[in-house]
Amino acid sequence: MLVASRASRASSRRAGLRHPTASPTGIRRRNAGFATGTGMNRLADELGFLILYPQQSKDANLARCWNWHNPAHQGRGGEPAVIAALTRHAIMLGRVNPARVYIAGLSAGGAAAAIVGAAYTGIFTAVGVHSGILHGNVQSMSTALSAMRGDARPHLGEKLRRPLPSIVFHRDRDRVVHPSNASAFLHHLEQAHPGPLVARSVTARSDNGRDFTRRIYKSKSGNLLLEDWTIDGSGHGWSGGQGGSYTGPTGPDASRAMMEFFLSLSKRP
């Protein structure tokens, strides 16, 4: 998981590069490897972001996974509260623009990012989720695994009624988090948004040879609400990665797409 904030100063800053991130299925990626594989630090320098990589404790989860499936960590307490506190601290120390603070993650980190963004809309401006899931009514490891397999679509309920603008990536041959989970983000938006959505779909091929479909959803007044990217012919992992486990070098650059999505959004005064 990462928290990105647009720096107020000309230079960018990075924090917490040693923090690990992981998925609930036992996929482990230390954040130094995650930062390198996704190219996020390079983009931070280029675009003027501070990036914070929150750490999961091994005492809290032996696989160092975010406990997104546990009701104790699905609201404004537990792990989301810790991540929010770290973010506030980074905003203060980094002198960043509080109207441009974003959160993103992969797999369990993506599920946790969606939870934190929904719980702390006063802090975050937008959310990025790669190969993740909306927790909905998932309240145990068994129901989490069922949802991840695509056996049961999580019921969203009232606690996810106000989604932040979101960008979602999923690979269509993902055998860890079933690709059908990506549709929950659009379903959530359709439930929560009071008016009709204006949709546009683009099918293209990345420079390195991977086909993908990008669907863009806006409000009738033109506000960007959701981008949904589906990458053809690839499994679980970060699209457009630059080496390391669970990255896909032949896909579109998810890191740059997320940063560009974030840059197009800021909180209104």
Provide φ and ψ at 46, rounded to 5°: -70, -40
| CATH number of the structural domain 29-264 | 3.40.50.1820
Encode pLDDT of 225-236 as tens digits.
999 999 998 888
CB atoms within 10 A of CB 207: 9
- Boundaries of every domain in the chain: 29-264
pLDDT at 244 over 70: no
CA distances from residue 243 to 59, 98, 128 in whole angstroms, order as listed: 29, 32, 21
- Rounded to whole angstroms, the Cα distance separating 31 from 59 reads 18
User: What global pTM score does this model have?
Assistant: 0.88
Encode pLDDT of 166-183 as tens digits.
999 999 999 999 999 999
CB atoms within 10 A of CB 233: 13
pLDDT at 122 over 50: yes
